[in-house]
Copies of this chain bind each other. A is one copy, B any other.
Amino acid sequence: MIKLYGMTGSGNCWKPAALLRLLGQPFEWIETSTLAGETRKPEFLALNANGRVPLLQFDDGRLLAESNAMLCHFAEGSAYLPAPGYERSKVLEWLFFEQYSHEPYIATVRFWIHFLGKREAWRDRIAEASIRGRAALGVMEQRLAAHDFLAGDFSIADIALYAYTHVADEGDFDLTPFPAVRAWLARCEAQAGFVPMRLP
């Protein structure tokens, strides 16, 4: 069975788990805590030199890192990833947006506040990163004000952006000014088989 190394509460780790559940594909979850330093141990670094979860191991031992690469891998041929062409490329655009313009601010501020308890100690860097996080939410709001989903129908782009957007409050992000984002979160959760993040 596929092994998925991940940390409960991590949006990046939740993404492939959520897609595998949507697809009805069983997997073994191996709890691996970055907070406890488990991704920096030699035995883990031998699997992923970049020292990060999620990490996927197939039955034959082959490995795959990067949550959004996993989403593309498993979504291939399913309704969650359009066939090659412009529509697929727009899904990919949002996946790269997520890792470059959204996650480094929204997920990171949440990590500092919710997991490390640095709300007061790191006030300045939190303020600076939060500006960029709100900018990312603004980009989503503009798209979602006129469309139900980020790229065509419900896709892995929505799964990727849902991950940290729906727990943005844990990073003190207020979604009140983003009504289209809030309505979209509800549309994601209404998908058949959608499992929220409180489970891994």
Contacts and interface: CB of A to CB of B under 8 A. Distances in A.
A96 B93 contact: no
Interface string A84-119: 111011101101110111011000000000000000
B76 A64 contact: no
Contacts of A103: 100
Interface string A149-165: 00000000000000000
B142 A96 contact: no
Contact of A93 (B65, B93, B139): B65
Given A97-B66, A104-B104, A84 B77 contact: yes
Interface string A133-155: 00000110011000000000000
A92 B69 contact: yes
A21 interface: no
Q: How many copies does the complex hold?
A: 2
What is the predominant secondary structure among interface residues of chain A facing chain B?
helix
A49 interface: yes
27 contacts: A49-B142, A49-B143, A50-B97, A50-B101, A52-B101, A62-B86, A64-B86, A64-B89, A64-B93, A66-B100, A68-B96, A69-B90, A69-B92, A69-B95, A69-B96, A72-B92, A73-B86, A73-B89, A76-B84, A76-B85, A95-B96, A99-B99, A99-B100, A100-B100, A100-B103, A100-B104, A104-B104
Interface of A: 49-50, 52, 58, 62, 64-70, 72-73, 76-77, 84-86, 88-90, 92-93, 95-97, 99-101, 103-104, 138-139, 142-143
